[in-house]
Amino acid sequence: MKTLSEESLLLPNPLREGLVEERIPEPAAMVIFGASGDLTRRKLLPALYSLTRDRLLPARFAVLGFGRQVLSDEAFREEMRHGCEEFARRRPVDPALWAAFARNVFYQQGAYDDPAAFRRLKVRLEEIEHTLGLPGNRVFYLSTPPSTFAPVIRSLGHANLAPKPAPGQPFSRVIIEKPFGIDLQTARALNTEVHDILDEQQIYRIDHYLGKETVQNLLVFRFANGIFEPLWNNHFVDHVQITGAETVGVEARGGYFEQAGSMRDMVQNHLLQVLSLAAMEPPVAFEADAVRDEKLKVLKALRFIPVSDFEQQVVRAQYAAGSIGGKTVPGYLSEPDVSPRSTTETFVALKLFIDSWRWAGVPFYLRSGKRMPKRVTEIAIQFKEAPHLLFGKRGETIRPNVLSIRIQPDEGIALNFGSKLPGPAMEIAPVSMEFRYGSSFGVEPPEAYERLLLDCLLGDGTLFTRADEVEASWSWVSRIHQRWAEQVAAGRTTLDSYPAGSWGPDAADRMLAADGRAWRLP
């Protein structure tokens, strides 16, 4: 006999009448490696619970956590409930619905490089599938340290847990968290190892930025409207700024961040992906490979920064002690697990060019930093000034039009343009037309992990990165790391400083000022 909550998952929802019907995935099981870690509790299980509450997961669906920590099924379920109560988009947790959902949540202890543990995992997974009547469709999520990616996938292959696709057979897919390699060489090596076990179509390299509503809306904004795409080129665009700012420091991740830095942690993963979507050509169809083909072209068209222009186009810095929100915070060199002689960058600013007909001559300015005044990620498209000034006093300038696409927080789009001030004088003032998800649609947009988990279950790889994309981005980024390494070896490290709570070092401002431009204040 079904419970009320189980029955409610199957009832029609009158609020959805007249809407395009969402696709519901086939019944499946999801195995989460690293299930006792923070990402599972804060993001993955809350996302799956919210999808269940929105009736977007199949009624027959199981979650099997796998981790080194010893936990019972009940202890794991209780820990995940606390995570959902604190972090799920759909709160508070519905007790009856949670009870129905949690009955299909399980836990298995084991080591990532232990063949016996994977044999036990296979037996447990098959028992769950048999009990719940699941057809054998599987998604494996690697929420583990990067050093374990290859061992886990090898173990999956040796245990025959993720066979390659075959007609009429259940699917097996693997989601791999970032970072995928630490440079071009390691990314290529990892791709080779992964492809020994899996086909590319089974691999879902996840970047949670691509699951955000505004990133996806960028494609709709460009290609579903006839107004803006004709202006999206070097005839009308003066320059583009992409900002990824965080107020937090390295927190408890000093050891990781020492090896990564902002260039690896933010630019190679997030900002270059956002740039490729903003600069790509229209795909022939809204299909995974068609979209990713166009993104790849952008990454391959990135002009390598010549040594002669390196100092003018690349700025890196570390935050020093400062104040954020009235609270004094320490500098990077005082953070736990950070070397007092560290040369790791917590801020990076770049000026780059895309060698294509559409973008020839248009500079793209990227910046990413920690301990900044505001948490914000946005794309700002600044259009060229009007060719002839009809209004205003001689010598005055009117602000150029700016189209800002806010990825987080307060997701939305704003267009700034000049308008006449009320009164007899012909005075111009900037005004803004804004669209915000929360106020326009009256609902909070889904979390990025909700969209990405659902897409993987549906077999849609559009918002996941492909092997050649990863290698193309690393090819560009690794040259910058190589130049920094050469500077360190020669004793000529160019590492600026900026106080915590500021928008970065003066050198980043000078980089734009040399072009007669300035950073936008989000």
Q: d(Cα 200, Cα 217) in Å, to the nearest integer?
A: 26
| CB neighbourhood size of 430 (10 A) | 13
pTM assigned to the model: 0.89
Q: d(Cα 9, Cα 195) in Å, to the nearest integer?
A: 38
Contacts of 150 (CB under 8 A, 6+ apart): 190, 193, 194
Contacts of 443 (CB under 8 A, 6+ apart): 437
Phi and psi angles of residue 170, each rounded to the nearest 5 degrees, phi first: -60, 155
Q: Would you state the pLDDT for residue 17?
A: 46
| CB neighbourhood size of 21 (10 A) | 6
Q: What is the pLDDT along the chain (522 residues), one digit of tens a residue?
A: 444 444 444 444 444 444 444 678 999 999 999 998 889 999 999 999 999 999 999 999 999 999 999 999 999 999 999 999 999 988 889 999 999 999 999 999 999 989 999 999 999 999 999 999 999 999 999 999 888 999 999 999 999 999 988 888 999 999 999 888 889 999 999 999 999 999 999 999 998 888 888 888 888 888 888 888 899 999 999 999 999 999 998 887 778 888 888 999 899 989 999 999 999 999 998 888 999 999 999 999 999 999 999 999 999 999 999 988 788 889 999 999 999 989 999 999 999 999 999 999 999 999 999 999 999 999 999 999 877 666 655 545 667 889 999 888 888 888 887 777 777 766 677 767 888 876 776 667 788 899 999 999 999 999 999 999 999 999 999 999 999 988 888 888 778 999 999 999 999 999 999 999 999 988
Instruction: List every span in the chain annotated with CATH 3.40.50.720.
Output: 24-177
DSSP, collapsed to helix, strand or coil, labels residue 472 as: helix
The token pair that represents 331 in the structure block? 């500098």
Question: Which positions are annotated as active-site residues?
Answer: 270
* Homologous superfamily assigned to 24-177: NAD(P)-binding Rossmann-like Domain (3.40.50.720)
pLDDT digits (tens, 9 = 90+) for 305-338: 999 999 999 999 999 999 887 888 899 999 999 9
DSSP, collapsed to helix, strand or coil, labels residue 481 as: helix
Q: Would you state the pLDDT for residue 312?
A: 93
Question: Which CATH number applies to 210-445+466-513: 1.10.1270.20, 3.30.360.10, 1.20.1440.130, 3.30.980.20?
Answer: 3.30.360.10
β-bridge mates for residue 173, sequence order:
139
Q: d(Cα 180, Cα 174) in Å, to the nearest integer?
A: 13
Phi and psi angles of residue 434, each rounded to the nearest 5 degrees, phi first: -125, 145
Instruction: List every span in the chain annotated with CATH 3.30.360.10.
Output: 210-445+466-513
β-bridge mates for residue 318, sequence order:
497
